[in-house]
Structure 1
Amino acid sequence: MSEQTIPSGRVDAQKLDPNMKLEQHGELGLQWLSPKEAPLRLSGFPWFSQDGVYRRLPMQPKHTLPRAVDQLANSTAGGQIMFQTDSPKLAIRVKLSGKAGMYHMPATGQCGFDMYLGEQGDQQYFATVRYDHSQTEYECVLYDYKQAELRHVTLNFPLYQGVQEVHVGVVPGSEVKEPLPYRSDKKVVIYGTSITQGGCATRPGMAYTNILSRRLPLEFVNLGFSGNGRGEPEVARVISEIERPALLVLDYEANAVDVELMKRTLPEFIRIYREVHPDVPILVLSKIQFARERFEPELLQKRLDMKMVEMETVDMYRSQGDENIHFFDGTALLGTDSYDECTVDGVHPTDLGFLRMADTLTPVLHELLHRELA
């Protein structure tokens, strides 16, 4: 082909591939239900009954939060809506707080919902919302069947954007009832970094906390704060207010900046939490390997030094009689081989990376939660 005949110009896959096109629909004629009301169950927002907003920390905390943490609490990572319905058609209507804007994370992970069908322990991925990412409001049909059949539905909230409003649409007259109960009314609380929050999963259900929630039938609370999970004592005090915790996971090493900060914050964070929850299991989780560690010895040494601080802190508390505090070496989370192929940017996991993390952590959490899961 000569140079003059080579096609040029922008490629628009949505016009060339019908599977890429956004759906077009008129008035759906559905009944719109709010997760704020029964029988829909809302989880992942511990202060929702108090504040009535989709937010991971209280609107007016008793202790002043770092400004960035306070803002990131509006990201809805880990939030879930569950219910059962025999509606042959299911849709979702969403109003976001802002648009997608990250260079290395898909808009479907930042701003989208995804859906799983089936009971906990047997949930299967079904759909991700399809919408115009330049917009802050969208409406999407998740399934449309000819026959009514009772289905157990889980909807995962966006990981990196706030949600001002969300409604679930069902065919009028359909049965809608509460989901099957959790195994316990206690919560798994995971505090950490952007990796904890879910960066950079392609869709919400692939954040490792959400994967774990499908395997362990308990409510999970995702308190990952992108770039700002630094173990501040005021954050520890607010997290201590979450009632009926089954387990606290501390996964904030990657944001601890340096070894001295970890030495200052980790023992104090645990002390503050223990004042309120003396017997709740605590798991200190060191961070995953970063790709550059193979080429930058100082980066590898920093991780090893951080891990030593975490291990020594756990050993100190155990020597004082705290048998409910544990350490897990995050070096194993992405596997020992090809771990550098599991990230988007050498730091943040892909879906494969998150799946590996969840696979590694599932038996660890199962052991720590055996009383709640019995």
Structure 2
Amino acid sequence: MLKYKIIKDLLAIAFLTMLSYSSSAQEIRWYNPEKETDFIIEGQAWSNTVKNRYDRLPASAESQVRKEVWKLSNNSAGLYISFTTDAKDIKVKYGLKERLALNQMPATGVSGVDLYALTKDNKWKWVKGQYLSFKSDTVSINFDNLYPESVKTYRIYLPLYNTPKWFEIGIDKNSTFQTLSDKQSKPIIVYGTSIAQGSSASRAGMAWTNILNRKLNVPVINLGFSGNGRLEPEITSLIAEKEASVFILDCLPNLMIFSEAEVKEKILKAVQMIRLKHKQTPIILTEHADATISLVNVDRQKPFLKINTLMKELFIHMKREGVKNIHLLTAEEIGLNIDSTADGIHPSDLGMMQYAEAYEKLIKKITK
């Protein structure tokens, strides 16, 4: 009996030791951008002057822009966190302010986050996560069984069409964690519509601005405002305050509600406002890419073709007037087709990749 008691006691001690080790190994240190003084969020042009931690415009803009634009600027489209860690498991949890999904866009794109790893041989790899909870009050995702020894940097993209109320990254307490920032590179600043904001990517990392961010590995500032990318001087003046490697004006889809005279004025004024402060920085003007989709109802394409013709005429006019370093990205160069959108307007992941590749090709050409 004594022998059995000793064995039983030893097993109990071993079990308690295992539980203690397991509990210690699973103890998580949570990092919160609102509480950590050295936590860096990238993709924010006005990171030090925002009202809320995940805003895309400075606090001063609230009284300057239309309320629809301000509300959309609270969405975290294009914001991302770059970090290093030697942890084999990464946990993410956050709360949301708005609806989880849209009619033409899944919840993973509207409200989800997306993790990528840049390997030590400089290749981006997507990290599959397991959603444990996907509700507006709490989204919880685990990224498990990682190989940190092969990873140089992680990059996590925040929701495209939603606003985090709070956000945390969890790492084993014994693992290292450090956020990073590319302060050496001037950003590409994008002023656009719902397409630039990210509709209708299936995941946050598949918005064309985020694809471009990985392809060129430079910061990209996403100022896409769904239905409200109207080349308004209040936004253009804010953009002109910032230094950039390239300015992209991709607002034609939202200018179709205006007359030809108003569209001309908006485009010319936007270019002029940027040129006043940035004499040589490249400016890309983008056509309405949906003009290349072959629809059964051909009449639906006529407005797209008409506004693109107007853009071409204005581009030629500005070149003749001596405006330097402006460039036109045509619908044909983007090359959307019948399989490129979710609803005939907003790009699917395929369409987003076509957008990103077209911009990448042009930007590499003009920036050498």
Q: Normalized against structure 1, the TM-score is what?
A: 0.83
Task: Measure how far apart 1:125 and its partner are.
Answer: 0.8
Matches within 5 A, 1:136-147: 136-145=137-146
Change over 3 Å in CA distance of 1:40–1:62 after alignment to 2: closer
Secondary structure of the structure 1 residue equivalent to 2:81: strand
Q: Which runs of 5+ in 2 are unaligned?
A: 1-24
For residues 286-341 of structure 1, give each alpha carbon's deviation from its aligned partner in whole angstroms, at most 9, with x where no partner exists: 01125876334443232222112222222222223222111110233134xxx111
Secondary structure of the structure 2 residue equivalent to 1:341: coil
Q: 1:347 & 1:287 partners in 2: Cα distance?
A: 10
Task: Measure how far apart 1:267 and its partner are.
Answer: 0.6
| 8 Å Cα contact 1:187-1:246 kept in structure 2 | yes
Structure 2 residue aligned with 1:222: 222
1:172 corresponds to which letter in structure 2? K
Q: 2:303 & 2:185 partners in 1: Cα distance?
A: 39
Q: 1:129 & 1:268 partners in 2: Cα distance?
A: 47
Structure 2 residue aligned with 1:47: 46
Q: Which runs of 5+ in 1 are unaligned?
A: 1-26
Matches within 5 A, 1:93-108: 93-108=93-108
| 8 Å Cα contact 1:187-1:220 kept in structure 2 | yes
Q: 1:301 & 1:153 partners in 2: Cα distance?
A: 44
Structure 2 residue aligned with 1:111: 111
Matches within 5 A, 1:101-180: 101-118=101-118, 122-128=123-129, 130-145=131-146, 149=149, 151=151, 152-179=153-180
Secondary structure of the structure 2 residue equivalent to 1:289: helix
Q: 2:54 & 2:179 partners in 1: Cα distance?
A: 20
Secondary structure of the structure 2 residue equivalent to 1:149: helix
Q: Which moved more, 1:257-266 or 1:149-158?
A: 257-266
Secondary structure of the structure 1 residue equivalent to 2:92: strand
Task: Measure how far apart 1:251 and its partner are.
Answer: 0.8
Q: 2:272 & 2:210 partners in 1: Cα distance?
A: 28
| 8 Å Cα contact 1:248-1:281 kept in structure 2 | yes
Matches within 5 A, 1:1-374: 29-35=27-33, 37=36, 40-51=39-50, 53-61=53-61, 64-118=64-118, 122-128=123-129, 130-145=131-146, 149=149, 151=151, 152-179=153-180, 181=182, 184-241=184-241, 243-257=242-256, 258-260=258-260, 261-289=262-290, 294-335=295-336, 339-370=337-368
Change over 3 Å in CA distance of 1:369–1:173 after alignment to 2: farther
Q: 1:294 & 1:259 partners in 2: Cα distance?
A: 24
Larger-gyration structure (1/2): 2
Change over 3 Å in CA distance of 1:38–1:369 after alignment to 2: farther
Q: Normalized against structure 2, the TM-score is what?
A: 0.84
1:248 corresponds to which letter in structure 2? F
| 8 Å Cα contact 1:119-1:180 kept in structure 2 | no
| 8 Å Cα contact 1:259-1:309 kept in structure 2 | no
Q: Percent identity?
A: 27
Q: 2:26 & 2:343 partners in 1: Cα distance?
A: 41
Change over 3 Å in CA distance of 1:79–1:63 after alignment to 2: same
Change over 3 Å in CA distance of 1:292–1:315 after alignment to 2: closer
Over the aligned positions, Cα root-mean-square deviation in angstroms equals 2.4
Task: Measure how far apart 1:351 and its partner are.
Answer: 0.7
Q: 1:180 & 1:73 partners in 2: Cα distance?
A: 22
Task: Measure how far apart 1:159 and its partner are.
Answer: 0.4
For residues 181-233 of structure 1, give each alpha carbon's deviation from its aligned partner in whole angstroms, at most 9, with x where no partner exists: 46x43010111111111101110010111111101021001111111111112
Change over 3 Å in CA distance of 1:160–1:128 after alignment to 2: farther
Secondary structure of the structure 1 residue equivalent to 2:142: strand
Q: Which has the higher helix share?
A: 2
